[in-house]
């Protein structure tokens, strides 16, 4: 849609007075669907403000304030054709953005402009996804669907002066936004009303202007999963050791992340990552679940990655997204990081106690039939014998990322795994150990 605006038109001329983005070529169908950032804002405490202004000034006072809000927010949203105001919701606006990063930046600008306002304080929420729309041929007039509901719920979770976005917005926007300007707080899973699906909420904020919210206006839902009722003590039975140690199929992403943290926190020796999809660790929340606990576990001395360059995005994802997270972890924890090259890869040595190394090599693994896995095995450079265990990846989900050069690529996120302990399948673990030994000579 953005490409349909004439390059010769000024940003102001490209919009009509209602803040809609007219199409310069072609017309929208009356009904259709599209992927957008759905954006809501709401004047905080508007009902009480109406009553107070009606008593102290007149009925029109709040309407003048609302118009001031609408004019300011519409100007910021529609600037340069990046967004489109759909309609007023009474005490706020519903809008669409084409790009999540711009939606976050414009939301922050709105909050900064209103930060010292004597009366106006708005809460903002957004979600990203495919929605149905209605149009009059030249403009979208309304949108419908679950993502509209979720964006509205995200705004209700926020406090005045703050922004809440769902995970889908965060994942797309994070790599495109200047890190020196914005910080992010991961609030976890929340719901507004009982019975509704929980939303995983992230808060972008300018630390020079405002501190993040300590809690949201909703009910927290740990890991996004409602706790099951505890069975009565009379009927509860302890699981047998065999049941506890049996290989487990673990899904979806949230459960995989929890198991990844457990794998890293309780493992020992050397940790191998073989063809593992980088979508799980190239964002801060995944890094904190899968890799950071291993870096902080003193019993894990070596972490080694065999990365598949058959996917053209692998090397760029590692260099532009994973390596900065490793360097950031070292800075946050006051660990000195020494870098050295290895053949077809690299190595970081951290001055932890004991010393920890993270090494990686790139290779085209197109002809490699070995499954994608993480593997924990004893470190031959120590006298400590460690139990072998593995996570074998069964399924992944696709995620689109944008790199610094503007290109977009698909990367994979682990979605379903099998957790294998030493007592589960020794033959399988021995086979994985053989694969690890074959590649170990390259590190």
- The pLDDT confidence band at residue 415, using thresholds 50, 70 and 90, is confident
Tally DSSP H helices, then E strands, for the chain.
12, 18
List of residues 6+ apart from 389 with CB closer than 8 A:
263, 267, 375, 376, 419, 420, 421, 422, 429
Q: Which residue has the higher pLDDT, 232 or 395?
A: 395
Arithmetic mean of pLDDT, 249-276: 90
In the block, which residue shows the tokens 């090599």? 361
pLDDT score at 312: 83
Of 440, 396, 406, 177, nearest to 278 (Cα)?
396
Q: Where are the alpha helices (DSSP H) in 210-312?
A: 241-245, 253-266, 284-290, 292-295
Residue 209: strand, helix, or coil: coil
Phi first, then psi, for residue 58 (nearest 5°) are -165, 175
Cα separation of 197 and 149, whole Å? 11
pLDDT at residue 19 is higher than 50: no
pLDDT in tens, 103-129: 999 999 999 999 999 889 999 999 999
Give the class (CATH, top level) of 2-224. alpha beta
Backbone phi and psi for residue 365, each to the nearest 5 degrees, phi listed first: -105, 25
Cβ neighbours of 121 (radius 10 Å): 19
Residue that is written with structure tokens 């997204």 in the block: 321
pLDDT top residue among 192 and 58:
192
Position 10 confidence tier, pLDDT thresholds 50, 70, 90: very low
* Average pLDDT value for residue range 230-252: 52
Model pTM above 0.75 = no
In angstroms, rounded to a whole number, what is the distance separating the alpha carbons of residues 434 and 436?
A: 5
Instruction: Report residue 339 as tokens.
Output: 């870098």
Q: Which residue has the higher pLDDT, 173 or 21?
A: 173
Return the CATH architecture of domain 243-440: 2-Layer Sandwich (3.30)
Domain ranges (residues) in the chain: 2-224, 243-440
Task: Please give the full DSSP string across 159-204, using - where no structure is assigned.
Answer: PTT-EEEEHHHHHHHHTTS-TTT-EEEEEEEEESSTTSPPEEEEEE
pLDDT tens for each residue of 43-73:
988 888 877 877 788 878 888 889 999 999 9
Q: What is the mean pLDDT of residues 337-351?
A: 91
**DSSP string across 365-423:** -TT--SPPEEEEE--TTSS-----EEEEEEEEEEEEEE-TTS-EEEEEEEEEEEEE-TT
Among the listed residues 410, 428, 411, the one whose alpha carbon sits nearest the alpha carbon of residue 419 = 428
What average pLDDT does the segment 224-233 reach? 43
Do residues 229 and 235 touch, judged by C-beta distance below 8 A? Answer: no
Beta carbons within 8 Å of 60's beta carbon, 6+ residues apart: none
β-partners of residue 401 are 409
Residues in the chain, total: 443
Judged by DSSP in three states, 238 sits in coil
Torsion sign (Cα): 392, 430, 379, 247: positive
Query: In the predicted model, what is the mean pLDDT of residues 206-229?
Result: 76
**Where are the extended beta strands (E) located within 46-121?**
83-88, 92-97
Element (H, E) at 75: helix 59-78
Name which of 308, 300, 424 is nearest 354 in CA terms: 300
The count of other CB atoms within 10 Å of the CB of residue 237 is 6
Supply the DSSP symbol for 207.
T
Cβ(280)–Cβ(317) below 8 Å: no
- Mean of pLDDT over the chain: 83
Q: Using the 8-state DSSP alphabet, how is residue 318 labeled?
A: I
CA dihedral 224, 230, 235, 236 (to 10 degrees): 70
- pLDDT tops 80 at residue 243: no
Whether the pLDDT of residue 347 is over 90: the answer is yes
Q: Is the peptide bond before 252 cis (omega within 30 degrees of 0)?
A: yes
């Amino acid at each position: 849609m953005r490409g349909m605006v004439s390059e010769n038109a000024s940003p102001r001329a490209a919009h009509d007075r209602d803040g809609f983005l007219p199409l310069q070529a072609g017309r929208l169908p009356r009904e259709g669907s599209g992927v957008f950032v759905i954006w809501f804002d709401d004047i905080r405490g508007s009902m009480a403000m109406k009553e107070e202004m009606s008593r102290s000034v007149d009925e029109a006072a709040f309407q003048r304030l609302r118009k001031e809000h609408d004019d300011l927010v519409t100007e910021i949203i529609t600037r340069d054709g990046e967004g489109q105001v759909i309609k007023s919701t009474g005490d706020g606006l519903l809008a669409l953005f084409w790009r999540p990063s711009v939606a976050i930046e414009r939301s922050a600008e709105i909050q900064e402009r209103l930060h010292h306002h004597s009366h106006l304080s708005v809460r903002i929420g957004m979600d990203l996804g495919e929605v149905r729309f209605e149009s009059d041929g030249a403009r979208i007039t309304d949108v419908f669907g679950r993502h509209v509901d979720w964006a509205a719920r995200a705004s209700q979770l926020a406090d005045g002066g703050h922004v809440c976005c769902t995970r889908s917005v965060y994942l797309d926007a994070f790599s495109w936004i200047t890190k020196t300007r914005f910080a992010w707080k991961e609030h976890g899973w929340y719901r507004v009303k009982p019975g509704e699906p929980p939303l995983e909420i992230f808060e972008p904020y300018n630390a020079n202007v405002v501190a993040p919210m300590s809690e949201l206006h909703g009910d927290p839902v740990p890991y996004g999963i409602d706790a099951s009722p505890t069975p009565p003590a009379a009927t509860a039975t302890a699981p047998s050791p065999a049941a506890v140690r049996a290989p487990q199929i673990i899904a979806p992403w949230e459960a995989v992340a929890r198991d990844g943290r457990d794998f890293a926190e309780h493992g020992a020796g050397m940790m191998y990552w073989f063809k593992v999809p980088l979508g799980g660790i190239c964002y801060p929340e995944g890094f904190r679940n899968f890799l950071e606990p291993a870096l902080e576990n003193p019993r894990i001395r070596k972490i080694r990655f065999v990365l598949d360059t058959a996917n053209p995005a692998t090397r760029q994802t590692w260099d532009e997204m994973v390596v900065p997270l490793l360097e950031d972890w070292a800075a946050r924890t006051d660990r000195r990081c020494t870098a050295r090259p290895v053949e077809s890869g690299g190595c970081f040595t951290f001055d932890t106690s004991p010393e920890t190394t993270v090494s990686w090599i790139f290779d085209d693994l197109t002809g490699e039939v070995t499954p994608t896995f993480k593997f924990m095995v004893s470190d031959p450079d120590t006298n400590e014998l460690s139990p072998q265990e593995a996570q074998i990846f069964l399924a992944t989900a696709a995620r689109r990322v944008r790199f610094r050069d503007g290109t977009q690529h698909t990367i994979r996120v682990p979605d379903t795994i099998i957790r294998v302990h030493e007592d589960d399948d020794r033959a399988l673990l021995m086979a994985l150990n053989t694969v690890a030994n074959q590649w170990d000579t390259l590190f």
